[in-house]
Structure 1
């Protein structure tokens, strides 16, 4: 049983990738206060939508049904993880009169929060195209910011392609009819974490994990792309195969005051080498392979080469790999699809 756990970071330059509720004709970005400091963020829901919408065009996604009206509206997907990869990986809840069926997420993502505090600025604009010489322009404003955003990430690999048929709440994934159709299409009965379940063929489970990793490597999306287009693929991704669901690498990115600027500390995002080293040592008995760090050149300028130098012993020992995010993610996807990590899909709890 192996989870992929770690960290994911985006490099936002003069962007507004996820907006909140605006007031007084001002489009505001999502942000939170931590103490007295402002930290912009991208919600987990937004990033998960980017991933879903970045899937290849030939990958079918689960259709959405919308019902009700006004305050009593609800929307839900087909709830068929055997047919649709997004239902499998992202989870769902289908609440019907004849029963409710739910699936907890297999891909867990946190909120992408700016590591160092950053105060958004406002851009002032007008619309006057086609107006007469005596007509006043329409004024509008919106916020934007530059920041490094980071989030934890976890993929519960043994649950990919495994659907539980017993229990209540998040445990029962499929209707009896859907389970029968899945079995007829090649799924097999099994016991998973103490519950009657069905499992898809290993080839399909490999394919789904590989497809997800390849998609994350090239994720795109975000709001206001007409005005603030920018790269939304990970500038840094850390993935570690761990036998438990803990994430010891949540603190590898930190905010540090690096210098004084007109009497005020200038705070930057730093990659903490000692945190990574100590966590690798502390969790060595749980690691099921090397820790993979994908790091885009130019991100956190100057730190990439220093980290490589200071962790050269771990790199030489094969305990740590540092390369480009796309190379790391696509390389791991190829290994999984080739069957090199089939033991990661096994769950010893029966």
Structure 2
């Protein structure tokens, strides 16, 4: 079975409005944040599209973004990237649908992302502002309102290592990833023809595939952006991120954080039991990036509770930026080339 880097990320949102919802006429001049209700309680959330957009926008300047093409007008207007994953890391990792009158080419995302939902129920706060600058004497100020909240948003992640740098052409795919002309250009530039999971396609050199995974991991550690940065600027890099190399791509780590009496708790016993239960499919150490200060002193308690796994080199706990950089470096150096093979 193929290896997936599987796990979750948690964002520590402090008085923020990182992903706006859609206002309705009955709300008036109010900009809401995205939220949903379950069990009679409200949970703010950020959409998968929002998180992926932040991640894509956070890629380093050394990565040339795939050009966006716009054609048509009004309801028939279309926009899409160039659809050249051989040339652009973002087209490779995030996928695309490039549709013209004569052809359609698509690539499903290599990176799967869940919705980032508040771990504990939190009711957004409504704030208001005024526009009163330089209004005529006697005029009333123009009021506007918006919502914000403080919450820890948790979302699942999965990176399909086998598909990084592999562009499907024929087999169990809806559309070919590349046009015939693009295939010729990719092969001339150093790609090779290959077959993976019974699908034929075009494969980048392993050095470039290693590099792209490294770029993605380092970018995760330094994410920034989101909505309302002028009034609600804050940290958007993960306060906690867990990644495990798992054959088959199951996600067993969604329950290691949960609210207890209004406080978010990390359950070391849950993590330990999941590691043991899936040990036959875990292909390497578990990487747990945990920012100091997030969840108080629970990080040090987790270190103590899981000391045997750390000593046995089955688990590493450290700052998210350090943990992700170390994982990126080990992949770039070729230490985990088996994760990139069929």
If the length of structure 2 is used for normalisation, what is the TM-score?
0.96
Q: 1:89 aligns with which of 90, 93, 103?
A: 93
Q: Deviations over 1:113-167 (max 9, x none)?
A: 1010000001111111112331111101100000000000000011100111114
Shift in Å, 1:100: 1.8
Q: Deviations over 1:215-265 (max 9, x none)?
A: 1110000111111110000000000011111111121121222xxxxxxxx
Shift in Å, 1:186: 0.3
| Match of residue 323 from structure 2 | 328
Q: Superposed, which structure 2 residues align to 1:1-350 within 5 Å?
A: 1-22=2-23, 23-167=27-171, 169-170=173-174, 172-257=176-261, 267-347=262-342
**Contact 2:172–2:199 (Cα < 8 Å) also in 1:** no
- Can you give the 5+ residue segments of structure 1 that lack an aligned partner in the other structure? 258-266
Give secondary structure in 1 for the equivalent of 2:53: helix
- Report the Cα distance in structure 2 between the residues aligned to 1:232 and 1:273, rounded to whole angstroms: 25
- Report the Cα distance in structure 2 between the residues aligned to 1:229 and 1:146, rounded to whole angstroms: 13
- Report the Cα distance in structure 2 between the residues aligned to 1:58 and 1:291, rounded to whole angstroms: 29
Give secondary structure in 2 for the equivalent of 1:227: coil
Q: Deviations over 1:184-238 (max 9, x none)?
A: 0000011111121111101100110000111111000011111111000000000
Give secondary structure in 1 for the equivalent of 2:201: strand
Shift in Å, 1:67: 2.1
**Mean Cα displacement is larger for which, 145-154 or 307-316?**
307-316
- Report the Cα distance in structure 2 between the residues aligned to 1:168 and 1:290, rounded to whole angstroms: 32
**Mean Cα displacement is larger for which, 98-107 or 209-218?**
98-107
- Can you give the 5+ residue segments of structure 2 that lack an aligned partner in the other structure? none
Give secondary structure in 2 for the equivalent of 1:245: coil
**Contact 1:127–1:138 (Cα < 8 Å) also in 2:** yes
- Report the Cα distance in structure 2 between the residues aligned to 1:170 and 1:238, rounded to whole angstroms: 32
Shift in Å, 1:169: 4.8
- Report the Cα distance in structure 2 between the residues aligned to 1:177 and 1:255, rounded to whole angstroms: 54
**Contact 1:103–1:170 (Cα < 8 Å) also in 2:** no
Q: Deviations over 1:280-330 (max 9, x none)?
A: 000101111111100001111121111111111111111111100000001
**Contact 2:30–2:146 (Cα < 8 Å) also in 1:** yes
Give secondary structure in 2 for the equivalent of 1:288: coil
Shift in Å, 1:168: 6.6
- Report the Cα distance in structure 2 between the residues aligned to 1:167 and 1:314, rounded to whole angstroms: 42
**Contact 1:102–1:169 (Cα < 8 Å) also in 2:** no
Give secondary structure in 2 for the equivalent of 1:29: coil
- Report the Cα distance in structure 2 between the residues aligned to 1:271 and 1:146, rounded to whole angstroms: 18
- Report the Cα distance in structure 2 between the residues aligned to 1:345 and 1:187, rounded to whole angstroms: 15
